[in-house]
Structure 1
Amino acid sequence: MIIGVYGTIGAGKTTISNKIKKLKFKVVNADKIARDILNSRDIQKQIKNLFPNAFVVDELDRSKLRKIISEDEKSLNKLNSIVWPEIKNQISLIIKTNPGNIVIDAALLPELDLEIDKYIRVKSNLITTLLRVKKRDKKSFKETYRIYKQQKQRINKYKINDEVIISNDIWTKNITYKQLHKKIFK
């Protein structure tokens, strides 16, 4: 079974994915795959051609790139056209080579157009999101809000029959495996 967990930045996707892992699922984190892909010389060359200001002495500055794409949706789409096919290929390879239950954790997962058996959307309120990301990534509220807003607009366009988990701190910590099992195997 392939479970897709998606939602905005700081919604609690990784927390939920790690809880699902304990139900004997392998976790695939798209952010980790993306970080590896961004280290590829070929990918960096393509990015440098589009976003030379995201580099400092031939070194990709991820914070500069993040700022560029969070301020301009066209730039985000250009970056996605380079990185997303690679992410999709990597995840597809993991699925093919790892039979069994897999949970894929990716903010905009439906846009990868993978074969997913069940989608779970993780939501959290804006205040919780801002505080989580500030604590985890040390990002400013302004930058986090821009990313959150972009992702939420895209997610709201999805026409998916999914399960929803509200992931505000208190409930997320108290979600039981029985509740997760029920959402997954409903």
Structure 2
Amino acid sequence: MIIGVYGTIGAGKTTISNKIKKLKFKVINADLIAKEVINYRDIQSQLKKTFPEAFVNDNFDRRRLRKAISNNETKMNKLNSIVWPEIKNQISLLIQTNSGNIVIDAALLPELELPVDKYIRVKSNLLTTLFRVKKRDKIPFKETFSIYKQQKQRIKYYNLDNEIIIVNDFWTKKISYKQLHKKIFK
């Protein structure tokens, strides 16, 4: 079985994915793959042409790239067109070479069009999201809000029949493994 966990920045996708991992699933984290892919020579070359502001003395600066795309949907789409095909290839290879249950953790996962049996959308309120990302990534609220807003806008157009929604906020009860197992395998 392949489960896809998606949602906006800071929603708690990795927390839920790690809980699913304990149900004997292998976790594929698209963010970790993206960090590798972004360092590929051909990807770096395309990024340098498209986002010169993300480079300092020929060295790629992820924070500068994040800042460049945070307020510009066109630039975010351009970045996605450069890196997503290779991210999809890497995830597809991992799916092919791993037997058993897999969970894929990716913000806009449905757009990768991978063979997912069941989607889990992780939602969180804006305040929780802003504080989680501030604590984790140390980026300004304004930048996080911009990315959150762009992702939320895209997600609202997904129409998935095989979807479970989990609200993962500070103020909600933590989901138990039993509850998670029931939601996944019902």
The amino acid that maps onto 1:56 is V
The amino acid that maps onto 1:168 is D
The amino acid that maps onto 2:168 is S
**Shift in Å at residue 171 of structure 1?**
3.4
SS of corresponding position for 2:172:
helix
Deviation digits for residues 54-92 of structure 1, max 9, x if unmatched? 100000111111111111111111111110000000000
1:24-35 correspondence runs (5 A): 24-35=24-35
Alignment gaps of 5+ in structure 1? none
The amino acid that maps onto 1:70 is S
**Shift in Å at residue 182 of structure 1?**
1.0
1:1-186 correspondence runs (5 A): 1-161=1-161, 162-171=163-172, 174-186=174-186
Q: CA RMSD in A?
A: 0.9
Alignment gaps of 5+ in structure 2? none
Alpha-carbon distance between aligned partners in 2 of 1:171 and 1:185, rounded to the nearest angstrom: 22
Alpha-carbon distance between aligned partners in 2 of 1:169 and 1:97, rounded to the nearest angstrom: 37
Alpha-carbon distance between aligned partners in 2 of 1:24 and 1:170, rounded to the nearest angstrom: 28
Alpha-carbon distance between aligned partners in 1 of 2:176 and 2:143, rounded to the nearest angstrom: 33
Deviation digits for residues 137-173 of structure 1, max 9, x if unmatched? 101110000000000000001011210000002536x
TM-score normalised to the size of structure 1?
A: 0.97
The amino acid that maps onto 2:166 is I
Residues 77-86 or 161-170, more deviating = 161-170
Count matched residues: 185
Alpha-carbon distance between aligned partners in 1 of 2:72 and 2:124, rounded to the nearest angstrom: 24
Runs ≥4 residues deviating over 2 A: 169-172
